[in-house]
Structure 1
Amino acid sequence: MELTWMQFAVILPLVGLAGFVDAIAGGGGLISLPAYMIGGLPAHAAIATNKLSSFMGTSVATGNYVKKGFVNWKYAGIGAFCALIGSSVGANIALMISDHILKIAMLFLLPAIAVYLAKRKDFAPIGKEPAEHGKMFVTAAAGLIIGLYDGLYGPGTGTFLLLILTGFAHMKLTEANGATKVINLTTNIASLVVYLMNGQPVIILGLCAGVCNMIGNYLGSNFFSSKGAGAVRPIMFVVLGIFFVKVLYDLHLFG
């Protein structure tokens, strides 16, 4: 498709902001995907191009967290493997059902997550800490289920993973964020390969936006390293709020 300078001017700054948010609390796709659509890309091209730029940005954040020692490969590895399976299955299911059903489910799920986040200050864990095999099971299940969701729909994947890994696997926030980035990177790669094989991404735009996303992820991952949980919770509330309004708008219940 023919691109204009206005499309670049609208999309690139928003994708950079999305990378910053994504590195800290997940959910950057809630900003970047609408940015591509606002820029005039058709739905499939927008999703595919977003995967390209997200892959580039998430690679930077993941590398930064690995360098800082936030990634425990014992958990991140099993989570990523299961997410790869889940995202592949989810992508195939997505071809058979309407995303309208998923958006209706989000109307109930998102407020529940917000209530949970409000009650669980500083990502306090739920119940007793699981044994080693229990922690592995929770991580594997999170990778499979959220990977399935990412293949089906996608936005908010990182946020959901962060909540599950801190709440149910009792991971420290730094370790949970490290595992989240590895799992997210895996699902991005799986999706991107499919879209590239079908010629969907707008390559030039995706690469330029990807550079902005990389900068945003780099700044966001360093910001998280210095600010920790105090910066994450407010941003997650904002992300969930944006997501909820977007779902209402998509369902023609708002705006």
Structure 2
Amino acid sequence: MPDWTVLLYGLPLAFLAGFIDAVAGGGGTITLPTLFFMGLPPAQAVATNKLLAIFGSGSATLQYGRAGHIEWPLILRLIPLALVGSALGAYLVHFVDPNVFKNLVAVVILGVGVLVIVNKKFGLEDRYPGLTGKVLALTLPGTLVVGLYDGFIGPGTGTFLMFLFTLSGFNLIRSSGNAKAINFATNVGAFIFFLLGGKMIFWIGLPMGAANALGAYVGARLAMLRGSAFIKVIYALIVLLVSARLLIH
């Protein structure tokens, strides 16, 4: 078991992860490897990561929600599917080779990054038409699939959700807010599951969670201040980071 000195680098990295995650998703690509580097076994690292992720996703959701950047009528319809997908993904991980799936997802997310970079107008304008049949036909199955991915692997879930919401017509600010709300719900569901398993290291997860929440607060505020063009730059960088994280086993 590590000693308290691991927090000397764990806290600033948790802050950075919260900041990045609130803007463009992908914070787990920083916090989970950090917990592994601290010397935590896989089960404890994954469980503790969910503990601290609640703080960050909750903080970002609160900021975006207060500013009116979360489309609650849509989100409340999607949360149950995200939870079902996440539970299904956690079950399937025992039957499918994660490495094959990681390579496939890395290729897909790189394609997403190319589309975002090449299409100069992508995510800069809000064209959300409301709860139309077309929107529901895209977001309902899309959220189920992303939830499955979250339970199966996890890194980059928020990045995928942002892409899904942007395809639905939201600008990147509202896409980020919607993604954080879904992420918060799935993190709570996973938190309860892992809490019952007794694997969380609270003396690491709680202070890192506080740092993650502070980073998420700063990131969400800056994203709303700077606008969709700023988020797009960070989003493109996170796509590359997530892809590299998936390809490096």
TM-score by length of 1: 0.90
Give structure 2 stretches of 5+ with no counterpart.
none
Instruction: Work out whether 1:163 is the aligned partner of 2:167.
Output: no
Question: Are the structure 2 counterparts of residues 26 and 49 from structure 1 closer, same or farther at C-alpha, using a change threshold of 3 Å?
Answer: same
Amino acid at match of 1:132: T
Aligned 8 A contact 1:83 1:148 in 2: yes
Question: Residue 17 of structure 1: CA displacement?
Answer: 0.4
Amino acid at match of 2:5: M
Aligned 8 A contact 2:90 2:152 in 1: yes
Aligned 8 A contact 1:122 1:230 in 2: no
Query: Matches of 2:171 and 2:69 in 1, distance apart?
Result: 9
Instruction: Work out whether 1:199 is the aligned partner of 2:198.
Output: yes
Question: Are the structure 2 counterparts of residues 177 and 247 from structure 1 closer, same or farther at C-alpha, using a change threshold of 3 Å?
Answer: closer
Identity within the alignment, %: 32
Aligned 8 A contact 2:123 2:172 in 1: no
Query: Matches of 2:209 and 2:198 in 1, distance apart?
Result: 18
Instruction: Work out whether 1:67 is the aligned partner of 2:93.
Output: no
Aligned 8 A contact 1:10 1:39 in 2: no
Matching residue of 2:92? 93
Aligned 8 A contact 1:79 1:143 in 2: yes
Matching residue of 1:136? 136
Count, aligned residues: 246
Structure 1 segments, 4+ long, off by >4 Å, are 128-131
Question: Are the structure 2 counterparts of residues 124 and 205 from structure 1 closer, same or farther at C-alpha, using a change threshold of 3 Å?
Answer: closer
Question: Residue 49 of structure 1: CA displacement?
Answer: 0.7
Query: Matches of 2:118 and 2:96 in 1, distance apart?
Result: 34
Query: Matches of 1:100 and 1:183 in 2, distance apart?
Result: 26
Matching residue of 1:188? 187
For residues 1-255 of structure 1, the aligned pairs below 5 Å read 2-124=1-123, 132-167=132-167, 169-250=168-249
Question: Are the structure 2 counterparts of residues 79 and 30 from structure 1 closer, same or farther at C-alpha, using a change threshold of 3 Å?
Answer: same
